[in-house]
Amino acid sequence: MLSALAPAWTSPTIDYHALAPEMILAGGIVLLVLLDLFVADAKKWILTPLASFIVLGAFIPVLTLALSDGGVRSLFDDRYMVDNFSLVMKGLFLLSGYVVILLTADHLREGDYYQGEYWFLLLTSLLGMVMMASSRDLVSIFVSLELLSIPAYMMAAWRKRDLRSNEAGIKYYLLGVFASALMLYGMSLLYGISGSTKLVEISKYLGTDLTSVRALAVFFIVVGFAFKVSAVPFHTWAPDTYQGAPTPVTAFLSVASKAAGFVALVTVIFVGFPGSHDVWQPVFWILSALTMTVGNVLALKQTNIVRMLAYSSVAQGGFILMPLAVAGIDGVANSALRAIVTYLLVYAATNLGVFAVVMVVARKTRSGEISSYGGLFSYAPGIATLMTMFMASLAGIPPFGGWFGKFAAFQSLVSAGTTWAYALAIIGGINSAVAFGYYGKILREMWMKPVPDGDTTPVTVYSSLSVALVITSVATLVLGTFPGIPLHFGDIAGLAGAFGK
């Protein structure tokens, strides 16, 4: 059958401008691997700036594409789209990747275990995320998901001799692979009933009338991505993986990898199954309510800062899922998409900043306990102020970014106006109040408690980490004080083909 199709095949025209970010990343990855082989050990440091130049280099075509008024660029028979949504998310991935490189550079200065493959893995995972933002076909979504996940499994297990890092890697790997296997089964059913792997075609075949096999397919795919975004009850890997992995990797997983999961979820739901909202809306309602509540309650009793941040990131995921629970209602789709994009932008800036502060403090106190933050303000007022700002943003206090993300999410729920939407908004409201409990705990330690060991030598912040702190804190502050900016990104984040448009 395949050979019969061969003569009809013509080479597709390729829009190289639209593919430029991916091609720069791919070329850079090859260059990094080759350089790592041939450069003498004493000169290996050049790989770090090179990796950051590659990421920033890939960001340039994203900017030129955003400025060029070419509309939606569609490649490979509409299976790969470069629209505003994908450009905003590509920008988010590349900038978070750059901040993670800065964090890692600082980590390496501390003499942590290093191999040149680290940059290769990080950039490969970034390439997968950048591709995910454009994928509009089951095959390319699957390949991008694996391209971003497989390197991440290895990065979580990066410290080979460390039992915790081993455990982090294995748990992440087993649950991640299991989730993608479930998702694939759903995809195979979907292909079977619709006869195509293209999301736009699938949405035509799925229509609105539901058979059990359609519901099963949609359910499996949603569950597969729920693992990726660590939604309760599929979150069990997240705290252990975040705690055991090296801190820069944790920052990468909790921000970029999670955002990639949401991008995939949004693409599949909005482009692929808009008509099946009877299946996915209740699933997202339950996932969102459970994720917020369980994440918050478990975060309250943590004593380790990274573990607390892991549960906080699970809970934040619940807020990002909120708009999806109403996205199928007429007229809400746009505001739901805007809320998700806004929340992801704000969350990325704030959470990366928190991890930068955690790294600064851990270097001095050599401890991951929340109690080690005691008296931080007395010897490191700048760092304590930044941490206060990030915590306030995560908790949703104006004028820092977080409040606007939450505002947009609640706004889309209220505009839906159904009883279920209001109920979810109330659960969300209670949860954002509960979250003050654990964010406040850190503030109390920093501002009111004495220094636990009496050691008040000032902390050292090296240049790469201070650049990361400046980027994240400025982004957090600007996104919160000028809500027009995230709103603008949310507004232009048009997803081509969403809801059959």
* Smaller CB separation from another protein, 239 or 490: 239
Task: Select from 161, 208, 212, 331 the one that contacts another protein (CB under 8 A).
Answer: 161
Tell the smallest beta-carbon distance from residue 30 to another protein (Å): 17
Q: Which segment (16-24, 56-64, 236-244, 452-460) binds another protein by CB under 8 A?
A: 236-244
Angle at 63 between CA 60 and CA 67, to 5 degrees: 140
CB of 192 to another protein, least distance (A): 4
Q: Please state the closest distance from residue 226 (CB atom) to another protein, in A.
A: 16
H-state helical runs in 9-137:
16-38, 47-67, 84-109, 117-134
- Minimum CB separation of residue 485 from another protein in Å reads 38
Q: Which stretch binds another protein (CB under 8 A): 69-77, 169-177, 337-345, 375-383?
A: 169-177
Q: Least CB distance from residue 2 to another protein, whole Å?
A: 6
Single residue of 22, 83, 240, 445 touching another protein by CB under 8 A: 240
The region of 99-107, 177-185, 421-429, 461-469 touching another protein under the rule CB under 8 A is 177-185
Contact 418, 326 (CB under 8 A): yes
Nearest to 485 by CA among 404, 394, 393: 404
Q: Is the distance from CB of 27 to CB of 33 less than 8 angstroms?
A: no
The DSSP code for 73 is E
> What residues form DSSP beta bridges with 198?
137
Q: Nearer Cβ to another protein, position 68 or 236?
A: 236
Select the residue interacting with another protein from 31, 166, 367, 379 (CB under 8 A): 166
CB 498 within 8 Å of CB 271: yes
Q: How far is the CB of 139 from another protein (least distance, A)?
A: 5
Tokens 């509540």 correspond to what residue? Answer: 293
On whether the CB atoms of residues 313 and 242 are closer than 8 A, the answer is yes
76 makes contact with another protein (CB under 8 A): no
Is there binding between residue 37 and another protein (CB under 8 A)?
no
Window 126-155: residues binding another protein (CB under 8 A): 138-139, 142-143, 146, 150, 153-154
State the minimum distance, in angstroms, from the CB of residue 251 to another protein. Answer: 18
Under the binding rule (CB under 8 A), the answer on residue 7 touching another protein is no
204 sits near another protein (criterion: CB under 8 A): no
Region from 235-243, 279-287, 442-450, 457-465 binding another protein, contact rule CB under 8 A: 235-243
* Interface residue with another protein, options 76, 113, 114, 185 (CB under 8 A): 185
Choose, by CB under 8 A, the member of 244, 328, 374, 490 that binds another protein: 244
Q: Is 72 within 8 Å of 83 (Cβ atoms)? A: yes
User: Number of residues in contact with another protein, rule: CB under 8 A?
Assistant: 45
Nearer to another protein, 166 or 411 (CB): 166
For the segment 287-306, give every residue that binds another protein (CB under 8 A).
298, 301-302
> What is the distance between the alpha carbons of residues 422 and 432, in angstroms, rounded to a whole number?
15
Burial of 297 from C-beta contacts in 10 A (0-12 / 13-18 / 19+): middle
Closer residue to another protein, CB minimum distance, 112 or 162: 162
C-beta of 90 vs 307, nearer to another protein: 307
Q: For residue 317, which of 336, 338, 343, 349 has the smallest C-alpha distance?
A: 343
The encoded tokens of residue 380 equal 């490191």
Q: Cβ 174 to another protein, closest distance in Å?
A: 6
Dihedral sign from CA coordinates of 151, 14, 266, 472: positive
Question: Tokens at residue 395, please?
Answer: 């908790």
**Residues 324-383 interacting with another protein (rule: CB under 8 A):** none
CB of 349 to another protein, least distance (A): 28
Distance CA 267, CA 264 (A): 5
Which residue, 78 or 146, has its beta carbon nearer to another protein? 146
Asked if 92 contacts 58 with a C-beta cutoff of 8 angstroms, the reply is: no
Q: Is the dihedral of CA 310, 315, 316, 318 positive or negative?
A: positive
> CB of 99 within 8 A of CB of 348?
no
- DSSP track, 131-182: HHHHB-BHHHHHHHHHHHHHHHHHHHT-STT-HHHHHHHHHHHHHHHHHHHH
Binding site for another protein (CB under 8 A): 1-2, 5, 138-139, 142-143, 146, 150, 153-154, 157, 160-161, 163-164, 166-167, 169-171, 173-174, 177-178, 181-182, 184-185, 187-189, 191-192, 195-197, 239-240, 243-244, 298, 301-302, 307
